[in-house]
Structure formats: C-alpha cells, structure tokens
C-alpha cells in the first residue's frame, strides 16, 4: 500500500525528534567523510586527466610543427652554406653555418628548459578543496 505525503512527513518529523546516539553520529561522520574523499579523488582524477589530455594534444601539435620547421631549416641552412661557398672555401662555409646553428640551438635549449616546470600539472582546485575540507573538519572537531 502506498504511503501518503502526510504519513511520510510525520515519519520524518518523528525520526528527526529522536536524538541520535553517538554511534549513529560516528557512523554518519564516517559515511560523509568517505563520500567526501571519493568526490575529492574523482575531482583530482578528472582535473589531472583533463590537463594531461590537453598536454598530450599540445605536445603532438608541437612535434608535428617542429618536424616541418626542421625540414625547412635544413633547406635554408643548405642554401646558406651554398651562398657562403661563393665567397670562401665550401668547408669553411659549412663550418661557419654549423657553429652559428649550435650557438642558436644552445640559446633556445636554455630558454626552453627554463619554461619546463612540473607545477603546471598540479591539480589546483583539488588542493584548494582539500585544504578547505581540512579547515572545516578542524573547526568542527574543536
């Protein structure tokens, strides 16, 4: 037999009026903490997964662009060697172009290494949320 809305309301008010035992409170606290922990883990997983997907997409695009740019650079370097070979011996022209490429390469490498940081992968919202949860729990237990 279906219960009416009035019966449900009276059952709820009766349950609300009964004081909860310490065991009930501890059980409810553990259930809520478990739920909170699972939600925080889900949030952190989703956030890291999204950032890693974005990172992989970016790295793939950069790698493809770098391959095409490298081919173009090789052709331009060959042209530079051929042009310099008109004014000096070909071996010296190749040496000059090679040394200049090494200097530019080391400069770009040092700039790129400075920009690589693992902090970009840190799940900031999850860390903030966990910190807030810790503060709330600390206030409730005092």
Residue 69 lies in a domain: yes
Residue 34 lies in a domain: yes
Counting the structural domains of the chain, the total is 1
Residue 60 lies in a domain: yes
* pLDDT for position 115: 77
Which domain range does residue 92 map to? 24-141
Question: Are 84 and 97 contacting, i.e. CB atoms less than 8 angstroms apart?
Answer: yes
* pLDDT for position 98: 94
* pLDDT for position 19: 76
Q: Is the dihedral of CA 97, 103, 107, 109 positive or negative?
A: positive
Residue 80 lies in a domain: yes
* pLDDT for position 126: 77
Question: Are 121 and 55 contacting, i.e. CB atoms less than 8 angstroms apart?
Answer: yes
Residue 89 lies in a domain: yes
- Terminal C-alpha separation, the chain: 47
Residue 106 lies in a domain: yes
Q: What is the pLDDT along the chain (142 residues), one digit of tens a residue?
A: 455 555 555 555 555 567 778 888 888 888 998 898 899 889 888 888 888 998 899 899 999 999 999 999 999 999 999 999 999 999 999 999 999 999 999 999 988 887 775 456 667 777 788 788 778 777 777 6
Residue 9 lies in a domain: no
Q: pTM value?
A: 0.43
Residue 72 lies in a domain: yes
Coil vs helix vs strand at 41 = helix
């Amino acid at each position: 037999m279906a219960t009416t809305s009035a019966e449900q309301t009276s059952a709820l008010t009766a349950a609300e009026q009964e004081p909860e035992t310490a065991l009930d409170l501890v059980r409810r606290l553990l259930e809520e903490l478990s739920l909170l922990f699972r939600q925080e883990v889900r949030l952190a997983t989703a956030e890291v997964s999204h950032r890693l997907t974005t990172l992989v997409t970016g790295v793939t695009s950069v790698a493809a662009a770098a391959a095409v740019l490298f081919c173009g650079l090789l052709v331009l370097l060959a042209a530079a060697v051929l042009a310099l070979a008109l004014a000096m011996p070909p071996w010296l022209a190749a040496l000059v172009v090679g040394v200049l490429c090494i200097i530019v390469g080391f400069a770009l490498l040092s700039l790129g290494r400075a920009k690589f940081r693992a902090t970009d992968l840190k799940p900031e919202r999850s860390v903030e949320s966990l910190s807030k949860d810790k503060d709330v729990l600390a206030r409730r237990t005092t």
